[in-house]
Structure 1
Amino acid sequence: MSSNLETQFAPPERTPQDILLAQISAIKEHNDLTRVLDAIPEYVMILNKEREIVFANKSLLEYLQVEDEFLSKGFRPGEAINCQHAFESEAGCGTTE
């Protein structure tokens, strides 16, 4: 997959929506894992290879004041927490100086 988006650091590629949803679903199927991660009071997230959040534990979802559907948007960590640099480039979080 090639991209015309310029980046100064991390690759700009994004996961196609159908694959992103499949990744999110695959993690949700691991009930024991998600229960353990949800029990952790600190913020926990799992990222895919494009650095998109495919799992966020309850602590993080509560902090962000969002529901599980938030994951289907394919946010990167900086985009999820509104990092001041996350939207400086069309390529998104992790691609600017």
Structure 2
Amino acid sequence: MKATDYKTYFDKAERISLPEIKQLQKSVINLSCIQQILEAFPHIALLLNEYRQIVAYNSKAINYFFGNNGSEFFGQRLGEALNCVHSKEMEAGCGTSLFCRECGAAQSIKKKLTQEKNQFQNAE
């Protein structure tokens, strides 16, 4: 089933594959300034792609997420990494359930990605 076939109540279901995430991660790591910026944050910092998937994070995030469930979270969305109960309600995961409409994190991420997309289109 393609991501476009998944039912969603809030945000897009599309995401990229784990091998694509790993390739993107390598590109980000090669830009050492990105990791330095993430490490400069006093709290958890995550870098998301346009599909809302985690592609980079700082050491504070490692301590938090690995302390919670010990699993790798590259390619996951925020709610999936946090084990949000609503991220498991829909096949497409975090950001697609009816409850995601009320989630402050999902709203903020969607708003920012929409703003960036509009700014990019206006620049063309």
Q: Is the 8 A contact 2:3 2:13 kept in 1?
A: no
- Provide structure 2 residue ranges, at least 5 long, that are not aligned to the other structure: 99-124
Match of 1:35 in 2: 36
Quote the offset at 1:49 in angstroms: 0.9
> Which range is displaced more, 9-18 or 46-55?
9-18
Give the 5 Å matches for 1:1-97: 3-65=4-66, 70-72=72-74, 74-97=75-98
TM-score (norm 1): 0.85
- Provide structure 1 residue ranges, at least 5 long, that are not aligned to the other structure: none
**Equivalents in 2 of 1:76, 1:2: separation in Å?**
15
Relative contact order: is structure 1 or structure 2 higher (C-alpha 8 Å, sep ≥ 6)? 1
The structure having more radius of gyration, on CA atoms, is 2
Aligned residues: percent identity?
31
Q: How many residues get paired?
A: 94
Quote the offset at 1:2 in angstroms: 5.8
Flag the 1:77–1:2 CA change in 2: closer, same or farther, 3 A. closer
**Equivalents in 2 of 1:59, 1:2: separation in Å?**
31
**Equivalents in 2 of 1:3, 1:33: separation in Å?**
31
Quote the offset at 1:92 in angstroms: 0.3
**Equivalents in 1 of 2:33, 2:40: separation in Å?**
11
Give 1:26's aligned amino acid: S
SS at match of 2:26: helix
Across the aligned residues of Structure 1 and Structure 2, the Cα RMSD in angstroms comes to 1.8
Flag the 1:71–1:81 CA change in 2: closer, same or farther, 3 A. closer
Q: Is the 8 A contact 2:52 2:77 kept in 1?
A: yes
Flag the 1:65–1:17 CA change in 2: closer, same or farther, 3 A. closer
Residues 36-70 of structure 1: CA distance to partner in whole angstroms, max 9, x if unpaired? 3123221100111110000111101101116xx82
Give 2:57's aligned amino acid: A
Return the structure number with greater helix share: 2
